[in-house]
């Protein structure tokens, strides 16, 4: 069982041999929390920078009931994955981009953030210390969840007095049950996700609980997720609760521009580059819901989700279906991205970090 963590105690992870695996049914992994051995933690006070963090056993953390994160939602999450290569080493995917996104988000949420180097080092240490939990090649990945939270006590509305940066990890496979089976989306025309001037572009923890209501309602009706529309006109496409969205029409791939309400996905950005390299025209622009309904293909992207095909959407009682076969553009983008992430396709862009 996980040992309750004491921050005073430093744990040196044992050096696992490359072929040592945790005893898990690797063929039946899902996207769910599977506690692993170690987590990384680092603290600093309000007016300081983060200095030195350490690994500890994975376990509960102690918080004041008046911690800023509990009372006012001052927190940011990230999600990043490590893959195991055939040669036994681990590959991280663009950890620098996650570090930069956390830094930008921290500024918006009035929090100090780890430096890019500290973030990457923490993710590397967490992946390496939990190596036996990284699935065999082709079976999934180790999902790492960096969190930056206001842990200092506060009563009036103000930034917390102390901050904690931590990284924990869990082996995962596909986010949506059914693997690459086409998703079935509901276009949400009551609730919205973000508004101009808000924090929708930031990976703030406070953006996710408000999305549950529409998500659960859609799931109850048999949908995989909802697609949000813009909060002003309710006619432009935004994103789903947990991923960005793309449409394909002919040779043109479009995705909503990051205008302050769209999460700047690292997978989103990577797919834009990959699609351009493969010869597609890609535009980041406002997309009318009518253009979505007229698309040849629809797909969504995210770290947890990867690149996943949307087989159908339902809008105001009307269901529209899209192409999802094995020769689809979505499938081509998926194969290329996963190939780079897992080391099967040469990484010419310097996106992967081998450890
Ligand atoms: C990710 O894609 O890594 C996310 O953080 C989305 C989350 C809702 C699973």
Nearest-atom number in ligand 1 for the CA of 302 is 2
Tracing tokens 């020769």 back to the chain, one arrives at 327
Active site annotation includes 203: yes
Q: Going by C-beta distance under 8 Å and a sequence separation of 6 or more, which residues neighbour residue 230?
A: 192, 236, 237, 238, 261
Query: Token digits for 220?
Result: 């109850």
pLDDT band at 11 (very low <50, low <70, confident <90, very high): low
Which helix H or strand E contains 309, and what residues bound it? strand 306-315
Q: How far separated are the first and last CA of the chain, in Å rounded? A: 27
Cβ(304) – ligand 1 distance below 6 Å:
yes
Q: What angle do CA 201, 204, 210 make, to 5 degrees?
A: 95
If one residue of 75, 142, 305 were mutated to test the ligand 1 pocket, choosing by the most ligand atoms within 8 A of its CB, it would be 305
Strands (E) across 37-79 are located at 38-45, 54-57, 75-77
What pLDDT score does 179 carry?
67
Q: What is the pTM of this model?
A: 0.93
303 vs 6, residue with greater confidence: 303
Cβ(302) – ligand 1 distance below 6 Å:
yes
**Nearest protein Cα to ligand 1, atom 3:** 79
Q: Kindly give the distance from the C-alpha atom of residue 263 to the centroid of ligand 1, in angstroms, as a whole number.
A: 11
What pLDDT score does 4 carry?
37
pLDDT band at 91 (very low <50, low <70, confident <90, very high): very high
Neighbours of 257 (CB within 10 A): 14
Q: Kindly give the distance from the C-alpha atom of residue 302 to the centroid of ligand 1, in angstroms, as a whole number.
A: 7
Q: State pLDDT tens for residues 185-216.
A: 999 999 999 999 999 999 999 999 999 999 99
List the single range of 8-12, 55-59, 142-146, 343-347 with lowest mean pLDDT: 8-12
247 within 8 A of 282, measured Cβ to Cβ? no
What pLDDT score does 288 carry?
97
């Amino acid at each position: 069982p996980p040992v309750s963590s004491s921050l005073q105690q430093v744990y040196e992870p044992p050096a696992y041999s490359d072929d040592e695996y945790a005893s898990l049914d690797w063929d039946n992994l899902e996207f769910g929390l599977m506690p692993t051995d170690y987590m990384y933690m680092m603290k600093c006070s309000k007016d300081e920078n983060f200095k030195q963090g350490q690994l500890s056993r994975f376990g509960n953390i102690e918080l004041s009931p008046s911690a800023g994160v509990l009372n006012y939602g001052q927190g940011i999450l990230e999600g990043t994955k490590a893959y195991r290569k055939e040669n036994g080493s681990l590959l991280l995917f663009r950890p620098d981009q996650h570090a930069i996104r956390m830094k930008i988000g921290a500024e918006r949420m009035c929090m100090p953030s780890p430096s890019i180097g500290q973030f990457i080092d923490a993710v590397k240490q967490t992946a390496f210390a939990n190596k036996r939990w990284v699935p065999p090649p082709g079976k999934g990945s180790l999902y790492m969840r960096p969190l930056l939270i206001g842990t200092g006590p506060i009563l009036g509305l103000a930034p917390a007095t102390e901050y904690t940066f931590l990284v924990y990890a869990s082996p995962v496979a596909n986010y949506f049950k059914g693997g690459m089976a086409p998703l079935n989306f509901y276009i949400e025309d009551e609730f919205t996700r973000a508004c101009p001037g808000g924090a929708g572009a930031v990976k703030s923890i406070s953006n996710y609980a408000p999305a549950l209501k529409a998500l659960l309602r859609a799931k109850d009706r048999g949908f995989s997720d909802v697609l949000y529309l813009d909060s002003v006109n309710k006619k432009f496409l935004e994103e789903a609760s947990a991923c960005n969205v793309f449409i394909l029409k002919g040779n043109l791939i479009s995705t909503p521009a990051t205008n302050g309400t769209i999460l700047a996905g690292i997978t989103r950005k990577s797919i834009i580059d990959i699609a351009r390299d493969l010869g597609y025209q890609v535009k980041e622009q406002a997309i009318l819901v009518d253009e979505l309904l007229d698309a040849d293909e629809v797909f969504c992207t995210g770290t947890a989700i990867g690149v996943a095909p949307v087989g159908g959407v339902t809008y105001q009682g009307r269901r529209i279906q899209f192409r999802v076969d094995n020769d689809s553009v979505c499938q081509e983008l998926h194969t290329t991205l996963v190939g780079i992430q897992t080391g099967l396709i040469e990484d010419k862009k310097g996106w992967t970090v081998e450890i």
